[in-house]
Amino acid sequence: MVMKEYFSTANFSEELETRTLTVGILEDYDTVTLNPDCLSFNEWGIYRGFKVDKRRNQFLAGRYIAKETIRKEHPGMALGAINIVHGVWGFPLIHSDSLNQATISICHADHYAAALFFASNTHPVGIDLEEISENNLPAFKRFISEEEQSLIKSENLPFLEMMHLLWSAKEAVGKALKVGFAIPEEIYSIASISLTDNIYHLVFEKLPMLKVAGWLHGDHAVCIAFPSVWFLSEIKRRTDL
């Protein structure tokens, strides 16, 4: 296996405005040795503080794909000049002069990392990805209600993949709100799922201000959360690699 990078643009409309989110996915980052020179001085301190190699590599991969995703919208920026700090609950915040009004969201799986960049901090957005595996089902069934599981079956959707997509959707919303699962899990109850052009659209029962678009990326489920007032126009793969 070889490490690969994929970048996509999600375009939305909001009344007369156009909103754009940039998504980056890093595959099989553990097959190479990433260069920590991509880290800022502040990030170096965090990186050196990890005692476990796996956690250190996850952090480095997340920062790397986050900064490469940012550079799709800001070409020419040095990776080390982009400083991503931890917020009060550990969520990433961009702390660089030219990017202080922007939003970044980062997630990891065992061999993958992904990031979502939005050029503003005026709207909540978040990303999550999950490796699809039968081994995850027992844990997911404790958090995905019987009603939500029945929703998957009633729509004749692939059960294993959709269980991961629903979990990823809840995680993406938790990152958009920057609270994770610090709030009651029933807040993340999913009311409906629909499929259009290979994109799953998820609506939440108790969070009408947010919704999720999700898709399958190989053997991973990917979800992005965004405001309900945005209407998704397209998600397209970028070729300017």
Strands annotated E in 119-197: 126-131, 190-196
Q: How do residues 132-152 score in pLDDT, each as one tens digit?
A: 999 999 999 999 999 999 999
For residue 239, tell me if it sits in a domain. Answer: no
Same structural domain, 13 and 115: yes
How many domains does the structure of the chain reveal? 2
pLDDT class for 110, splitting at 50, 70, 90?
A: confident
The answer, yes or no, to whether residue 240 has pLDDT greater than 80, is: no
The answer, yes or no, to whether residue 191 has pLDDT greater than 90, is: yes
User: pTM to 2 decimals?
Assistant: 0.95
**pLDDT value at residue 143:** 92
- Outline where 22-117 has alpha helix (H): 41-49, 53-73
Radius of gyration of the chain (CA): 17
Q: What is the mean pLDDT of residues 101-120?
A: 95
Q: Containing domain of residue 203, as a range?
A: 124-233
Same structural domain, 28 and 54: yes
For residue 238, tell me if it sits in a domain. Answer: no
**pLDDT value at residue 32:** 83
Same structural domain, 33 and 93: yes
Same structural domain, 108 and 162: no
Looking at residue 221, which CATH number applies to its domain? 3.90.470.20
How far CA 181 is from CA of 49, 145, 187, 241, in Å, comes to 25, 15, 10, 35
The answer, yes or no, to whether residue 241 has pLDDT greater than 60, is: no
Same structural domain, 97 and 139: no
The answer, yes or no, to whether residue 80 has pLDDT greater than 70, is: yes
Angle between helices 53-73 and 41-49 (to 10 degrees): 160
CA distance 116 to 19: 13
Copy the structure tokens of residue 220.
Answer: 């991973």
**pLDDT value at residue 44:** 94
Q: What is the mean pLDDT of residues 69-85?
A: 94
CA distance 106 to 171: 11
Please report, rounded to a whole number, the percentage of residues in the chain having pLDDT higher than 70.
Answer: 99
